[in-house]
Amino acid sequence: MKEVVRVRKIAVGIHHAHHHYHHGWFVMIATGWVKGSGVALMSNFEQLLRGVWKPEANEIMHMSFPTKASLYGAILFTLQQTRWLPVSKASLIFIFTMFMVSCKVFLTATHSHSSPFDVLESYVCPVLFGTALVGDHHHDNHGGAHGGSHGGSGPGSPHSAMATKSKEELSEGSRKKKTKKAD
């Protein structure tokens, strides 16, 4: 039921924003996104107001499935509201609700934390940003040579350093991280 309410909130947010800002696409998308994702996005603003900024818990940088789905839904409902998407509002609500419910049931049943949007994002991110979504490891090599190949497993790559560590060293490192977090 949470996903049904989420889709309704996105649609109502887009409708209200369109009523006040007819050509304000950004305002419509932002309103639908915030109404759909709710406290997940508002917690960033609340942390800024309190002065307790946690960049590792930033929902905009590390979006969960409901936040991503709310953003994509807000874009779809904005396109429908401005008549760029030739689908009736009732049909779009039904289709997007079925998508959200089936994804949530599948993710819950499989105990998965991955996003169903990963396939789409793996194609779109290299086109828009010039890099792969999972290719964040190329910035980890701060001590190695900056020339040469970035994607291989040469002597300066981070993959060769990980391969030389034994299992004991890796488990010791994870123990140290866990005790650091506990402190």
Q: Is residue 49 part of a domain?
A: yes
148 inside domain? no
Residue 95: which residues within 8 A CB-CB, separation 6 or more? 87
Q: How far is CA 156 from the centre of its chain?
A: 31
Q: Is residue 173 part of a domain?
A: no
pLDDT tens, position by position, 113-141: 888 888 888 898 899 888 765 544 444 44
Give the predicted TM-score (pTM) of the model: 0.67
At 24-56, the pLDDT tens digits run 999 999 999 999 998 888 888 888 888 888 878
- Domain total of the chain: 1
Judge whether 121 lies within some domain.
Answer: yes
Q: Does residue 122 belong to any structural domain of this protein?
A: yes
**Of all helices (H) and strands (E), which one includes residue 8?**
helix 2-20
- Give 54's contacts (C-beta < 8 A, 6+ positions apart): 47
Average confidence (pLDDT) over 168-181: 53
Q: Which domain holds residue 21?
A: 1-129
